Amino acid sequence: MSFEADKRFGDAGTAAVVAYLSRLGFYSNTPPGEFRAYDIHARATLEIKRDRRAAETGNLFVESSAHGEPSGISTSQATAYVFIAEREAYFVSTEALRAVLPTLQARRTPDGKTGYILPIQTLAALPFVHRADLVGLLP
């Protein structure tokens, strides 16, 4: 996929979370600019991660570095992460996610990123994760 296609895919996920939060009565917005420290502000800062292959693999990838430099979960200033797999979103505090990651399998991708494999079943079973249905909110 191209950067533009991946960006459109991710942006649709961000828009779905904004719509979901709106249904819950939250005011939310996205900060201006292409490279932002977080994706949505809604009484918290949210890092949105939408995984195209999650339904196929049953896993999510949580990036921690790229090309030898800290990135992703290592540098995020967001107070919470939202993982989108298919039509479901999983809300988890960044602090809680950082505490769980060392217990997971680390992986290096072919494009120079490192991170952790987070099984969706593991994420869904954590007591501090909120699960949300995004049916009808995503294209």
Q: How does pLDDT run across 56-67, given as a tens digit for each residue? A: 999 999 999 999
Domain ranges, residue 36: 3-133
Q: Tell me whether residue 11 is in a domain.
A: yes
Confidence tier at 106 by pLDDT (50, 70, 90): very high
The number of domains in the chain is 1
Average pLDDT (80-101) is 94
CATH number of the domain at 40, please. 3.40.1350
Q: Tell me whether residue 124 is in a domain.
A: yes
Q: Tell me whether residue 139 is in a domain.
A: no
Q: Tell me whether residue 138 is in a domain.
A: no
Query: Phi and psi at residue 33, in whole multiples of 5°?
Result: 105, 160
Percent of the chain with pLDDT over 70: 97
Mean pLDDT, rounded, of the chain: 90
